[in-house]
Each structure stands twice: as structure tokens, then as C-alpha cells.
Amino acid sequence: MSQAVAPKHTNPPLVALTEDEQLFRDNIRQFADEKVRPHVREMDEKGVFEKSLIDDFFQLGLMGIEIPEQYGGGGGTFFEAILAVEELSRVDASAGVIVDVQNTLVNNALMKWTTDEQKKRYLPKQAADTVGAYALSEASSGSDAFAMQTKAELKGNDWVLNGRKLWITNGKEAGVFIMLATVDPAAGYKGITAFIVEKGFPGFTVGKKEDKLGIRASSTCELILEDCKVPKENLLGEKGKGYKIAIETLNEGRIGIGAQMLGVARGAFEYAVKYAQERKQFGKAISDFQGVQFQLAQMATDIEAARMLVYNAARMKDAGMDFVKEAAMVKLFASQVAERVTSLAIEIYGGYGFTRDYPVEKYWRDSKIGKIYEGTSNMQLQTIAKLVLGGR
């Protein structure tokens, strides 16, 4: 079975979609099947994302879904961005995460925290042709996100940044970076400050691209700042309030990762159903055996439960409700489901599933990152427990 052969897609969710949302989803699904799927295997093997697809993302409006129309964006909803991430990830998780980071992290931060002048300068680029990246993590700063060592010092009309960032998604392709640094290490999280850094700023370099287990076509890079000069007007929000920007942005991003993991689970499940109906043993399709039927039933149930969590949290965000607990639940559960479903898909394929000639092993590899980036599963459990015990 070729990676480029699309199995029959699963039915739409029980959560009601408007006609416009259904059309939006169906268009992206068709694009993913027809344009993205043929490149998936080669992109995974080479560890490089096909540039023409990124150009297509911009032309289709997928890189500026929520950006207001006055800045060249789609003026859409967060829920639509989540639908896009899910449908792309169903075919390729690397495609999903490029659109996810652009919309749920970078664009959301720029829309919420920029001045009017910054909006005029950056939002049209984000909608038209500029990939964005979100630079928080460092070697000593993972789950303890605010133990960062990258420093920022105001010198005349420029902020001068020094340090290194690690594991930055979209690092290779990005032209704009939301960069977190500390202006006062002794102040702890109160010293964290956010900046808008352009790739061409003096002293900024994109370093090594990581060779990863999964989402291999998505670039994950080191960023090097050596006396990097950032104009004073590129401060994002207020000095010392970067922690607030980071926390609020990551809460939205976790719903995006949930959507990515939902798409990964769906993609593997669809292949597993198709294969189970085609594979013959003991004179009949393996889907006729109750053991396989029960596995598929459990997979379908897990996917549907994850879908409800993802869609509900996205609706809450659009409605202006408090969704912090729900976002943590989404990322925790959807990543668990993706890992379980993709693993079972390999088992249904048997020995074939363990080879790279068939697509399900890639879905399993892609699923693993869901429990790690944008907050590990343990951090999500801690957030959920805190809010549950606190009455939320």
C-alpha cells in the first residue's frame, strides 16, 4: 500500500459544524489528500518540508486564518484554525504543525499584544508570505520555562539579546520570531520579556536543525543570538510581562497540538480500517474477527472522545470563556489517544506495519511528540489537578 493512497475518511463529528465550517473543512481535506499526501514519504525521508506546499498554505489563507481582513487575513475563528490543523495532520503531522504554530502561537500573540504600528507592520506579512516561529525553550529551560538564560539589555535605541534557543519549530522557514528573554535574571518570571525578532536582524543566526524521530519534515532548530540588535519598538507587550504572553499563548497552542494529535490518530485509524477489510487470513478479512473489531471499536471511541475535547475547548476560546483546564485536558488526552491508536494500527498491519513500506509506522513516530512539546503530559496533569482542586 502506497503512502499516497488515501483511505476513506471518517465521518464528521457529532459536534455541530456550520455549513461554512463544513465547507472550510472539506476544502482543506481535499487539498491535504490531493496536494500534501503525494509528498509525505519523501519529506519524511529527507527531513525537509516541500516549499511549494508552504506557498500553497499562504495562497489558501491557511497561514492567517484569524488575522483580520484589514490586514489581509481571513478574519476567521480559532475553531477554523483548529479544523485546518486537524485535517492537515490527518495526512501529515509536519504540515499540521507548521499551520498550527503560525496560527495558534505566533499570529495570536501578534494580534493580542502588539501596538497598532506593529500590527500594520507584521500582520500583513504573516498572512501573505512570512512564516512565524515561537522561541521559548532552551537547554536549561524546558518544563521550567522561565529558567531561561537568554538575556536582553537595552542599549540606546536597541535591545541587545544574547543566548541560545533550542527545539524551535519552523526555525528554518521562519522570517519572524516571537522571542522570550530575561531583562533581569534575579527577578525570575517577572524579568521575562517578549520581543519580535526578524531573521535578518544583526547577530541572529539559525543553527542546527534537529534530526528527529517524528514530524521529520517540520524544522526544529537552534537559534543563536550574539549581540542581536532588536529595535526598541519591537518590544512585544510590556517589559517584564513576557511570562503572561507566554502562558496565555501556550494555552491556545495546546488546543492546536490536541488538534494535531487528533488528526494523526484519525489518519492511522483510517488506514487500519482499510487494511483490516483488505487483509485476508484463514479465508476471510481480518475485520471479520471479533478481536480486530474490538480494537477498531476502541480506537474509534478514543478518537471521538478526543475530538469532543478538542472542539469544545476551541469553541470555549472563541466564546471568550476560561479554557485553561480544558486546553490542558485536550493536550493530555489527545496525545495519549494518538499514541494508543497509532500503536494499535501497527499491530493490525502486523509485520507489514513495522516496515516503512506502509504508512502507519510514521503516524506512530509522529504521535510521540504530542506528549512532549508545548508542555509535557506531567505538566498538563499538574495544571488540571491545580484547577480541579481549586474549584475550577
Q: Which helix (H) or strand (E) holds 143?
A: none
Q: Please name each of the domains of the chain with its CATH number.
A: 19-131 (1.10.540.10), 133-240 (2.40.110.10), 244-389 (1.20.140.10)
Helix (H, G, I), strand (E, B) or coil at 8: coil
pLDDT tens, per residue, the chain with 392 residues = 444 566 766 554 446 799 999 999 999 999 999 999 999 999 999 999 999 999 999 999 999 999 999 999 999 999 999 999 999 999 999 999 999 999 999 999 999 999 999 999 999 999 999 999 999 999 988 888 778 999 999 999 999 999 999 999 999 999 999 999 999 999 989 999 999 999 999 999 999 999 999 999 999 999 999 999 999 999 999 999 999 999 999 999 999 999 999 999 999 999 999 999 999 999 999 999 999 999 999 999 999 999 999 999 999 999 999 999 999 999 999 999 999 999 999 999 999 999 999 999 999 999 999 999 999 999 999 999 999 999 77
Which residue in the block uniquely carries the three cell numbers 497509532?
342
Catalytic sites, residue numbers: 374
Contact between 279 and 271 (Cβ < 8 Å): no
In whole angstroms, what is the distance from residue 148 CA to residue 140 CA? 7
Instruction: Give the list of residues 6+ apart from residue 17 with CB closer than 8 angstroms, or none.
Output: 25
In whole angstroms, what is the distance from residue 314 CA to residue 253 CA? 11
